[in-house]
Amino acid sequence: MRRPWRLLPALAAAGVLCWRPVWAHHALAALLAAVFGLYLLRHLVLLAGALHARTEPATGAGELPSVTVLVPCHDEAKVVDGLTRALAALDYPADRLDVVFVDDRSADDTGDRLERAAAGHPNWRVLRRAADAAGGKSAALNEALELVRGEITVVFDADHQPEPGCLRALVRVFDDPGTAAAQGRCVVRNPGDSLIARLVAVDYLCGYLVNMAGRRSAFGLPAYGGANCAVRTPVLRALGGWNTDSVTEDTDLTVRVWLAGHRVGYAEDAVDTELAVTTLRGYWRQRYRWARGHQQVCADHRGALLRSRHLGPAGKAEALMFLYLYHVPVLCAVALLLAGVEASWPGLALTVPLWPLAPLMLAGPVLEIGGGLIRAGTRRREVLLLLLFPALFVLSVLLCTRALIDRRIGSAYSWVKTERTAAAPNAAIGAGL
Protein backbone atom coordinates (compact mmCIF):
# COMPACT_ATOMS: atom_id res chain seq x y z
CA MET A 1 0.00 0.00 0.00
CA ARG A 2 1.31 3.43 -0.95
CA ARG A 3 1.92 5.86 1.89
CA PRO A 4 2.43 9.39 0.46
CA TRP A 5 2.50 10.83 3.99
CA ARG A 6 5.94 9.30 4.40
CA LEU A 7 7.25 11.95 2.02
CA LEU A 8 6.01 14.80 4.26
CA PRO A 9 9.43 15.45 5.91
CA ALA A 10 11.07 15.80 2.49
CA LEU A 11 8.23 18.01 1.23
CA ALA A 12 8.46 20.17 4.38
CA ALA A 13 12.20 20.59 3.87
CA ALA A 14 11.59 21.56 0.24
CA GLY A 15 8.99 24.09 1.40
CA VAL A 16 11.39 25.71 3.84
CA LEU A 17 14.06 25.78 1.12
CA CYS A 18 11.68 27.69 -1.18
CA TRP A 19 10.40 30.00 1.58
CA ARG A 20 13.77 30.96 3.06
CA PRO A 21 16.29 29.66 0.49
CA VAL A 22 19.43 31.30 1.87
CA TRP A 23 18.69 30.41 5.50
CA ALA A 24 17.68 26.86 4.61
CA HIS A 25 20.77 26.45 2.43
CA HIS A 26 23.04 27.57 5.26
CA ALA A 27 21.34 25.29 7.77
CA LEU A 28 21.49 22.25 5.49
CA ALA A 29 25.13 22.90 4.65
CA ALA A 30 26.04 23.10 8.33
CA LEU A 31 24.07 19.93 9.10
CA LEU A 32 25.69 18.01 6.24
CA ALA A 33 29.14 19.18 7.29
CA ALA A 34 28.48 17.96 10.84
CA VAL A 35 27.19 14.56 9.69
CA PHE A 36 30.01 13.94 7.23
CA GLY A 37 32.57 15.11 9.76
CA LEU A 38 31.11 12.78 12.39
CA TYR A 39 31.25 9.79 10.05
CA LEU A 40 34.80 10.69 9.02
CA LEU A 41 35.75 10.65 12.71
CA ARG A 42 34.06 7.24 13.03
CA HIS A 43 36.03 5.91 10.06
CA LEU A 44 39.27 7.13 11.67
CA VAL A 45 38.39 5.54 15.02
CA LEU A 46 37.56 2.21 13.34
CA LEU A 47 40.75 2.32 11.28
CA ALA A 48 42.87 3.02 14.35
CA GLY A 49 41.13 0.24 16.26
CA ALA A 50 41.61 -2.23 13.43
CA LEU A 51 45.29 -1.44 12.92
CA HIS A 52 45.90 -2.11 16.61
CA ALA A 53 43.67 -5.19 16.72
CA ARG A 54 45.20 -8.51 17.70
CA THR A 55 43.84 -11.95 16.99
CA GLU A 56 44.80 -14.64 19.49
CA PRO A 57 45.35 -18.10 18.04
CA ALA A 58 42.90 -20.83 19.01
CA THR A 59 44.08 -22.79 22.03
CA GLY A 60 41.74 -25.76 21.70
CA ALA A 61 41.28 -25.77 25.48
CA GLY A 62 37.94 -26.73 27.01
CA GLU A 63 35.06 -28.80 25.71
CA LEU A 64 33.66 -27.70 22.40
CA PRO A 65 29.94 -26.89 22.35
CA SER A 66 27.51 -28.90 20.25
CA VAL A 67 26.80 -27.18 16.93
CA THR A 68 24.05 -27.37 14.35
CA VAL A 69 24.90 -25.89 10.96
CA LEU A 70 21.97 -24.56 8.92
CA VAL A 71 22.31 -24.05 5.17
CA PRO A 72 19.36 -22.46 3.32
CA CYS A 73 19.41 -23.40 -0.38
CA HIS A 74 17.16 -22.08 -3.14
CA ASP A 75 18.18 -23.17 -6.66
CA GLU A 76 21.81 -23.60 -5.63
CA ALA A 77 22.85 -26.54 -7.84
CA LYS A 78 25.82 -24.54 -9.15
CA VAL A 79 27.46 -24.24 -5.74
CA VAL A 80 26.24 -26.83 -3.22
CA ASP A 81 28.82 -29.47 -4.17
CA GLY A 82 31.66 -27.16 -3.14
CA LEU A 83 29.88 -26.36 0.11
CA THR A 84 29.23 -30.00 1.05
CA ARG A 85 32.87 -30.89 0.40
CA ALA A 86 33.97 -28.02 2.63
CA LEU A 87 31.59 -29.04 5.41
CA ALA A 88 32.84 -32.62 5.23
CA ALA A 89 36.40 -31.32 5.72
CA LEU A 90 35.62 -29.30 8.87
CA ASP A 91 37.93 -29.99 11.80
CA TYR A 92 35.24 -30.49 14.44
CA PRO A 93 34.26 -33.55 16.49
CA ALA A 94 31.61 -35.51 14.59
CA ASP A 95 29.65 -36.25 17.76
CA ARG A 96 29.35 -32.50 18.47
CA LEU A 97 28.23 -31.45 14.99
CA ASP A 98 25.16 -31.95 12.84
CA VAL A 99 24.09 -30.24 9.63
CA VAL A 100 20.61 -29.36 8.35
CA PHE A 101 20.33 -28.42 4.68
CA VAL A 102 17.13 -26.64 3.70
CA ASP A 103 16.00 -27.23 0.13
CA ASP A 104 13.85 -24.13 -0.12
CA ARG A 105 11.44 -24.96 -2.96
CA SER A 106 14.25 -25.34 -5.51
CA ALA A 107 13.30 -25.77 -9.16
CA ASP A 108 16.66 -27.32 -10.09
CA ASP A 109 18.33 -30.47 -8.71
CA THR A 110 19.59 -28.80 -5.52
CA GLY A 111 17.58 -31.14 -3.30
CA ASP A 112 18.84 -34.28 -5.03
CA ARG A 113 22.44 -33.13 -4.73
CA LEU A 114 21.94 -32.46 -1.03
CA GLU A 115 20.35 -35.88 -0.49
CA ARG A 116 23.30 -37.61 -2.16
CA ALA A 117 25.79 -35.64 -0.05
CA ALA A 118 23.90 -36.34 3.18
CA ALA A 119 23.69 -40.08 2.49
CA GLY A 120 27.28 -40.61 3.62
CA HIS A 121 26.97 -38.57 6.83
CA PRO A 122 24.71 -39.82 9.65
CA ASN A 123 24.46 -36.36 11.22
CA TRP A 124 23.48 -34.57 8.01
CA ARG A 125 19.79 -34.04 7.27
CA VAL A 126 17.87 -32.46 4.38
CA LEU A 127 14.69 -30.51 5.03
CA ARG A 128 12.64 -30.13 1.85
CA ARG A 129 10.17 -27.28 2.17
CA ALA A 130 6.71 -27.51 0.69
CA ALA A 131 6.08 -25.76 -2.61
CA ASP A 132 3.52 -23.46 -0.98
CA ALA A 133 5.77 -22.52 1.97
CA ALA A 134 6.48 -18.85 2.64
CA GLY A 135 9.48 -17.64 0.69
CA GLY A 136 12.65 -15.96 1.84
CA LYS A 137 15.79 -16.92 3.72
CA SER A 138 14.33 -16.07 7.14
CA ALA A 139 11.32 -18.32 6.64
CA ALA A 140 13.56 -21.21 5.55
CA LEU A 141 15.82 -20.75 8.58
CA ASN A 142 12.90 -20.53 11.00
CA GLU A 143 11.48 -23.81 9.72
CA ALA A 144 14.89 -25.45 10.12
CA LEU A 145 15.26 -24.00 13.63
CA GLU A 146 12.76 -26.59 14.86
CA LEU A 147 15.30 -29.30 13.96
CA VAL A 148 18.29 -27.68 15.69
CA ARG A 149 19.88 -29.84 18.39
CA GLY A 150 23.11 -27.93 19.03
CA GLU A 151 23.87 -25.38 21.72
CA ILE A 152 25.14 -23.11 18.95
CA THR A 153 23.37 -22.52 15.63
CA VAL A 154 25.71 -21.69 12.73
CA VAL A 155 24.57 -20.46 9.31
CA PHE A 156 26.39 -20.77 6.01
CA ASP A 157 25.00 -19.64 2.67
CA ALA A 158 25.14 -22.17 -0.15
CA ASP A 159 28.01 -20.45 -2.00
CA HIS A 160 30.23 -20.40 1.10
CA GLN A 161 33.12 -22.77 1.76
CA PRO A 162 34.44 -22.68 5.34
CA GLU A 163 38.10 -23.48 5.90
CA PRO A 164 38.71 -26.58 8.05
CA GLY A 165 39.40 -24.62 11.26
CA CYS A 166 36.58 -22.11 10.74
CA LEU A 167 34.05 -23.67 13.12
CA ARG A 168 36.50 -24.11 16.00
CA ALA A 169 37.54 -20.46 15.74
CA LEU A 170 33.94 -19.27 15.46
CA VAL A 171 32.61 -21.06 18.56
CA ARG A 172 35.62 -19.99 20.65
CA VAL A 173 33.98 -16.56 20.88
CA PHE A 174 31.28 -18.12 23.07
CA ASP A 175 33.77 -18.77 25.85
CA ASP A 176 32.57 -15.34 26.96
CA PRO A 177 29.17 -16.01 28.60
CA GLY A 178 27.93 -12.54 27.69
CA THR A 179 28.34 -13.22 23.97
CA ALA A 180 25.17 -14.46 22.29
CA ALA A 181 26.18 -14.25 18.62
CA ALA A 182 29.38 -14.27 16.59
CA GLN A 183 30.57 -13.43 13.10
CA GLY A 184 33.50 -14.94 11.21
CA ARG A 185 35.45 -13.42 8.32
CA CYS A 186 34.31 -13.89 4.73
CA VAL A 187 36.77 -13.73 1.84
CA VAL A 188 35.84 -13.48 -1.84
CA ARG A 189 37.27 -16.41 -3.81
CA ASN A 190 36.41 -15.32 -7.36
CA PRO A 191 38.02 -11.85 -7.68
CA GLY A 192 39.40 -12.73 -11.12
CA ASP A 193 35.98 -13.22 -12.68
CA SER A 194 35.33 -9.54 -13.37
CA LEU A 195 36.27 -6.04 -12.33
CA ILE A 196 33.13 -5.87 -10.18
CA ALA A 197 34.11 -9.07 -8.37
CA ARG A 198 37.59 -7.70 -7.70
CA LEU A 199 36.21 -4.47 -6.28
CA VAL A 200 33.81 -6.43 -4.07
CA ALA A 201 36.76 -8.53 -2.87
CA VAL A 202 38.59 -5.36 -1.81
CA ASP A 203 35.41 -4.03 -0.22
CA TYR A 204 35.20 -7.23 1.87
CA LEU A 205 38.77 -6.71 3.08
CA CYS A 206 37.67 -3.31 4.32
CA GLY A 207 34.44 -4.64 5.81
CA TYR A 208 36.00 -7.46 7.83
CA LEU A 209 39.60 -6.40 8.47
CA VAL A 210 38.83 -2.77 9.29
CA ASN A 211 35.13 -2.14 9.93
CA MET A 212 34.33 -5.28 11.92
CA ALA A 213 37.70 -5.44 13.64
CA GLY A 214 37.57 -1.73 14.44
CA ARG A 215 34.06 -1.90 15.86
CA ARG A 216 35.09 -4.82 18.06
CA SER A 217 38.22 -3.04 19.25
CA ALA A 218 36.78 0.46 19.69
CA PHE A 219 33.19 -0.17 20.78
CA GLY A 220 32.74 -3.91 21.35
CA LEU A 221 29.88 -3.83 18.83
CA PRO A 222 30.63 -5.95 15.75
CA ALA A 223 27.59 -7.17 13.81
CA TYR A 224 26.10 -10.59 13.19
CA GLY A 225 26.26 -11.26 9.45
CA GLY A 226 24.12 -13.40 7.22
CA ALA A 227 26.60 -16.27 6.79
CA ASN A 228 29.65 -17.72 8.54
CA CYS A 229 27.86 -16.59 11.68
CA ALA A 230 26.67 -18.21 14.89
CA VAL A 231 24.17 -17.60 17.68
CA ARG A 232 23.34 -19.36 20.93
CA THR A 233 20.30 -21.51 20.18
CA PRO A 234 18.36 -20.68 23.40
CA VAL A 235 18.85 -16.94 22.76
CA LEU A 236 17.78 -17.31 19.13
CA ARG A 237 14.61 -19.14 20.14
CA ALA A 238 13.88 -16.63 22.91
CA LEU A 239 14.10 -13.83 20.33
CA GLY A 240 11.64 -15.62 18.06
CA GLY A 241 14.12 -16.68 15.40
CA TRP A 242 14.79 -14.61 12.30
CA ASN A 243 12.50 -11.76 11.28
CA THR A 244 10.58 -12.83 8.16
CA ASP A 245 9.53 -9.22 7.54
CA SER A 246 13.15 -8.13 7.08
CA VAL A 247 15.22 -8.62 3.92
CA THR A 248 18.35 -8.09 6.01
CA GLU A 249 17.62 -10.60 8.75
CA ASP A 250 21.21 -10.43 9.95
CA THR A 251 21.12 -6.71 10.76
CA ASP A 252 17.73 -7.12 12.39
CA LEU A 253 18.99 -9.96 14.60
CA THR A 254 22.12 -7.96 15.50
CA VAL A 255 20.03 -5.13 16.91
CA ARG A 256 17.64 -7.47 18.74
CA VAL A 257 20.62 -9.21 20.37
CA TRP A 258 21.93 -5.83 21.55
CA LEU A 259 18.51 -4.80 22.84
CA ALA A 260 18.26 -8.05 24.80
CA GLY A 261 21.45 -7.12 26.65
CA HIS A 262 23.80 -9.53 24.87
CA ARG A 263 26.94 -9.00 22.84
CA VAL A 264 27.98 -9.97 19.33
CA GLY A 265 31.54 -11.27 18.95
CA TYR A 266 33.87 -11.34 15.97
CA ALA A 267 36.28 -14.17 15.12
CA GLU A 268 38.67 -12.84 12.49
CA ASP A 269 40.42 -16.20 12.18
CA ALA A 270 37.14 -18.03 11.43
CA VAL A 271 37.59 -17.74 7.67
CA ASP A 272 35.38 -18.95 4.87
CA THR A 273 35.19 -18.01 1.20
CA GLU A 274 32.20 -16.89 -0.81
CA LEU A 275 31.30 -15.74 -4.30
CA ALA A 276 31.10 -12.07 -5.21
CA VAL A 277 28.62 -10.82 -7.76
CA THR A 278 30.29 -10.40 -11.13
CA THR A 279 28.01 -7.95 -12.96
CA LEU A 280 26.83 -4.41 -12.40
CA ARG A 281 23.22 -5.63 -12.39
CA GLY A 282 24.01 -8.21 -9.71
CA TYR A 283 25.81 -5.59 -7.63
CA TRP A 284 22.85 -3.21 -7.83
CA ARG A 285 20.31 -5.89 -6.87
CA GLN A 286 22.40 -7.09 -3.91
CA ARG A 287 23.29 -3.68 -2.53
CA TYR A 288 19.77 -2.35 -3.07
CA ARG A 289 18.48 -5.20 -0.89
CA TRP A 290 21.09 -4.38 1.75
CA ALA A 291 20.14 -0.67 1.68
CA ARG A 292 16.40 -1.31 1.72
CA GLY A 293 16.64 -3.78 4.59
CA HIS A 294 19.14 -1.74 6.62
CA GLN A 295 17.00 1.39 6.33
CA GLN A 296 13.96 -0.60 7.50
CA VAL A 297 15.85 -1.99 10.51
CA CYS A 298 16.85 1.56 11.37
CA ALA A 299 13.22 2.69 11.31
CA ASP A 300 12.14 -0.34 13.36
CA HIS A 301 14.70 -0.17 16.15
CA ARG A 302 16.30 3.28 16.47
CA GLY A 303 13.86 4.38 19.17
CA ALA A 304 14.41 1.23 21.22
CA LEU A 305 18.18 1.64 20.93
CA LEU A 306 17.99 5.17 22.27
CA ARG A 307 15.95 3.93 25.25
CA SER A 308 18.09 0.83 25.85
CA ARG A 309 19.53 0.35 29.33
CA HIS A 310 22.14 -2.08 28.02
CA LEU A 311 24.17 0.40 25.98
CA GLY A 312 26.09 3.40 27.25
CA PRO A 313 26.29 6.75 25.43
CA ALA A 314 29.22 5.67 23.21
CA GLY A 315 27.53 2.36 22.41
CA LYS A 316 24.28 4.07 21.49
CA ALA A 317 26.11 6.56 19.29
CA GLU A 318 27.93 3.77 17.43
CA ALA A 319 24.79 1.64 17.13
CA LEU A 320 22.84 4.55 15.65
CA MET A 321 25.64 5.45 13.23
CA PHE A 322 25.71 1.79 12.16
CA LEU A 323 21.93 1.85 11.58
CA TYR A 324 22.07 5.09 9.59
CA LEU A 325 24.93 3.87 7.39
CA TYR A 326 22.72 3.46 4.33
CA HIS A 327 21.19 6.90 4.84
CA VAL A 328 24.53 8.70 4.51
CA PRO A 329 24.77 8.21 0.71
CA VAL A 330 21.32 9.81 0.46
CA LEU A 331 22.70 12.84 2.31
CA CYS A 332 25.56 12.84 -0.19
CA ALA A 333 22.97 13.13 -2.97
CA VAL A 334 21.41 16.09 -1.13
CA ALA A 335 24.85 17.68 -0.74
CA LEU A 336 25.55 17.31 -4.45
CA LEU A 337 22.21 18.91 -5.33
CA LEU A 338 22.83 21.81 -2.98
CA ALA A 339 26.35 22.21 -4.35
CA GLY A 340 24.78 22.59 -7.78
CA VAL A 341 22.55 25.34 -6.38
CA GLU A 342 25.60 27.00 -4.84
CA ALA A 343 27.47 26.91 -8.16
CA SER A 344 24.53 28.37 -10.11
CA TRP A 345 23.76 31.11 -7.57
CA PRO A 346 26.84 33.37 -7.49
CA GLY A 347 25.34 35.73 -4.93
CA LEU A 348 24.64 33.02 -2.37
CA ALA A 349 26.86 33.72 0.65
CA LEU A 350 27.43 30.52 2.59
CA THR A 351 28.59 30.18 6.15
CA VAL A 352 29.64 26.60 5.34
CA PRO A 353 30.38 26.19 1.60
CA LEU A 354 29.42 22.80 0.22
CA TRP A 355 32.22 22.09 -2.23
CA PRO A 356 34.78 21.38 0.53
CA LEU A 357 32.44 18.68 1.82
CA ALA A 358 33.29 16.43 -1.12
CA PRO A 359 36.54 15.16 0.46
CA LEU A 360 34.62 14.38 3.67
CA MET A 361 32.25 12.14 1.70
CA LEU A 362 35.04 10.04 0.23
CA ALA A 363 37.91 10.31 2.69
CA GLY A 364 36.58 7.94 5.35
CA PRO A 365 35.62 5.02 3.08
CA VAL A 366 38.84 5.32 1.08
CA LEU A 367 40.91 5.28 4.28
CA GLU A 368 39.08 2.17 5.48
CA ILE A 369 39.58 0.42 2.15
CA GLY A 370 43.26 1.33 2.20
CA GLY A 371 43.50 -0.03 5.74
CA GLY A 372 41.92 -3.30 4.58
CA LEU A 373 44.52 -3.62 1.80
CA ILE A 374 47.31 -2.98 4.31
CA ARG A 375 46.03 -5.49 6.85
CA ALA A 376 45.54 -8.11 4.14
CA GLY A 377 49.10 -7.61 2.89
CA THR A 378 47.96 -7.29 -0.72
CA ARG A 379 50.23 -6.48 -3.63
CA ARG A 380 51.03 -2.82 -4.23
CA ARG A 381 49.27 -2.74 -7.57
CA GLU A 382 46.00 -3.59 -5.82
CA VAL A 383 46.12 -0.11 -4.29
CA LEU A 384 45.33 1.24 -7.77
CA LEU A 385 41.83 -0.18 -7.32
CA LEU A 386 41.18 2.68 -4.90
CA LEU A 387 40.90 4.92 -7.96
CA LEU A 388 37.77 3.02 -9.03
CA PHE A 389 35.90 3.27 -5.76
CA PRO A 390 34.52 6.78 -6.41
CA ALA A 391 32.47 5.17 -9.21
CA LEU A 392 31.06 2.64 -6.74
CA PHE A 393 30.42 5.53 -4.37
CA VAL A 394 28.25 7.24 -7.01
CA LEU A 395 26.40 3.96 -7.55
CA SER A 396 25.87 3.68 -3.80
CA VAL A 397 24.42 7.20 -3.71
CA LEU A 398 21.94 6.27 -6.44
CA LEU A 399 20.81 2.92 -5.06
CA CYS A 400 20.53 4.09 -1.44
CA THR A 401 18.50 7.09 -2.54
CA ARG A 402 16.25 4.87 -4.63
CA ALA A 403 15.84 2.43 -1.73
CA LEU A 404 14.87 5.20 0.71
CA ILE A 405 12.35 6.74 -1.69
CA ASP A 406 10.84 3.34 -2.45
CA ARG A 407 10.51 2.56 1.26
CA ARG A 408 9.02 5.94 2.09
CA ILE A 409 6.30 5.62 -0.56
CA GLY A 410 5.54 2.07 0.55
CA SER A 411 6.78 0.29 -2.57
CA ALA A 412 6.47 -3.47 -2.06
CA TYR A 413 9.69 -5.44 -1.79
CA SER A 414 10.60 -8.98 -0.80
CA TRP A 415 13.78 -10.95 -0.32
CA VAL A 416 15.74 -11.43 -3.56
CA LYS A 417 18.29 -14.22 -3.95
CA THR A 418 21.77 -13.24 -5.12
CA GLU A 419 22.50 -14.75 -8.52
CA ARG A 420 25.43 -17.17 -8.84
CA THR A 421 27.33 -16.05 -11.93
CA ALA A 422 30.94 -16.90 -11.08
CA ALA A 423 33.05 -18.53 -13.79
CA ALA A 424 34.33 -21.22 -11.37
CA PRO A 425 31.75 -21.39 -8.58
CA ASN A 426 33.34 -24.40 -6.87
CA ALA A 427 36.89 -23.07 -6.84
CA ALA A 428 39.28 -24.37 -4.19
CA ILE A 429 39.05 -23.03 -0.65
CA GLY A 430 41.47 -20.22 0.07
CA ALA A 431 41.55 -18.65 -3.39
CA GLY A 432 41.78 -14.94 -2.70
CA LEU A 433 43.23 -11.78 -4.22
* Predicted local distance difference test score (pLDDT) of residue 366: 83
* Predicted local distance difference test score (pLDDT) of residue 215: 95
- Domain made up of 1-433: CATH architecture: Alpha-Beta Complex (3.90)
Yes or no: say if 178 and 367 are a contact pair by the CB < 8 Å rule: no
Within 13 Å and on the Cβ side, how many CA atoms surround 387? 4
Percent of the chain scored above 70 by pLDDT? 84
> Where exactly are the structural domains of the chain?
1-433
CB within 8 Å of 149: residues ≥ 6 apart: 66, 68, 98
* Predicted local distance difference test score (pLDDT) of residue 316: 97
Please state which of the ranges 19-33, 73-87, 122-136, 405-419 shows the lowest mean pLDDT.
Answer: 19-33
DSSP structure class, residue 209:
I
Please state which of the ranges 53-57, 159-163, 246-250 shows the lowest mean pLDDT.
Answer: 53-57
- Predicted confidence (pLDDT) at residue 266 exceeds the cutoff of 90: yes
Yes or no: say if 305 and 323 are a contact pair by the CB < 8 Å rule: yes
User: What number is the average pLDDT over the span 257-263?
Assistant: 97
- The strand pairing partners of 73, in sequence order, are 103
Please state which of the ranges 101-110, 214-223, 336-345, 374-383 shows the lowest mean pLDDT.
Answer: 336-345
Yes or no: say if 176 and 263 are a contact pair by the CB < 8 Å rule: yes
DSSP H helices, 377-426, are: 389-408
CB within 8 Å of 303: residues ≥ 6 apart: none
Name the pTM for this structure: 0.89
**Dihedral of the alpha carbons of 132, 137, 143, 145, in degrees to the nearest 10:** 170
User: What number is the average pLDDT over the span 56-74?
Assistant: 81
Q: Return mean pLDDT, the chain.
A: 87
